[in-house]
Amino acid sequence: MDADRWSQHADYLAAVEAEMRDCLSLAAAAELAPFYGMMAYHLGWRDAALQPIAAPAGKRLRPLLCLLACQVTGRWEEALPAAAAVELVHNFTLIHDDIEDHSPLRRGRPAVWSVWGVPQAINAGDGLFIVARGALLRLRARGSTPEVVLECIGVLDRTILRICEGQYLDLAFERRLDVDETAYRGMIARKTAALLEAAVHVGALVGGAPAGVTAALRAYGGALGLAFQMQDDLLGVWGAEERTGKPAAADVYGRKLGLPAVHALEHADPADRELLARVYGGTGPVTAGDAAAVVAAMERAGTRAYVEAAAGRHHREALDALAGVPAGPARTALAEIADSLLGRER
């Protein structure tokens, strides 16, 4: 979504930010300040010396989806704790993901593990997970019934397990050359799409949406998540470093089996497939020459166009699902968000 469109939701985003900061304003002994400071650093609120800063903090897409889903039939303010929980869960997974992928950067800054080491980063991620789960309990103060709170906790817990399943599959796919598109889709449905679906699901629950509307919103979130990840895969190969905060062709250097690699390994000509198999099945560092050759092989296989088309299909599925959502400003905003994520540059 461009800057003008994001500005339309400034009130939502500012309220989510305040809710998250309140969740992390935990009374603690002085010696624990760095523990929570690592979380604040990752969230863009502190620098490496733990001094206040306004650093890149991500799109805050998931909490925005949660609030808009609530607004379909309710008051978005009531879902702020759920929106904070969803975003904090997302960020806990990113801290761990950077460790597991050996990614030194996150949003153009050193990742938490790069600054404080792997053990402390694991612990900070674990702590953020618990803070996220505790945020849901704040729904009671916003007017949700105990039944709704319990249902939201169940949705988030099941989603976190699905994300862990997806991360397991993502890691298990490393160095494998036999991963097909069906397996890839199963992985991203868990690792990425599950949390976008959960974001609109808990928002709908807090807003008291009827079952049919909740189902439509979940279908929207799931399809949007697939489109989002496929666009992310495109950026992992063809994205510009100054826009993504990661090196160009980062997913090639990391031998990440996103949809571009999966498609190219299946559809490249024999000579290019031999190159792809050597690079993606290797163990040493990927050279700049190899990375450039892989990207060129993907282009020859029509991979970029294929992934763009696949993302486009899921984008249309997300828009089609909104037909089951009552017309109004919230539905319009959800459609605009879907449109903005297709073809994004970061």
Q: How confident is the model at residue 227 (pLDDT cuts 50, 70, 90)?
A: very high
What is the average pLDDT across 89-97?
Answer: 97
Residue 112 CA to residue 101 CA, distance in Å, equals: 13
pLDDT per position as a tens digit, 228-257: 999 999 999 999 877 776 778 999 998 999
Q: Enumerate domains of the chain plus CATH numbers.
A: 3-336 (1.10.600.10)
Q: Which residue has the tokens 């978005």?
A: 76
Residue for token pair 């624990």: 32
pTM of the model: 0.94
pLDDT of residue 6 exceeding 60, the answer is no
Burial of 59 (0-12, 13-18, 19+ CB in 10 A): middle
Tokens linked to 15: 């309220």
The whole-number pLDDT of residue 7 equals 65
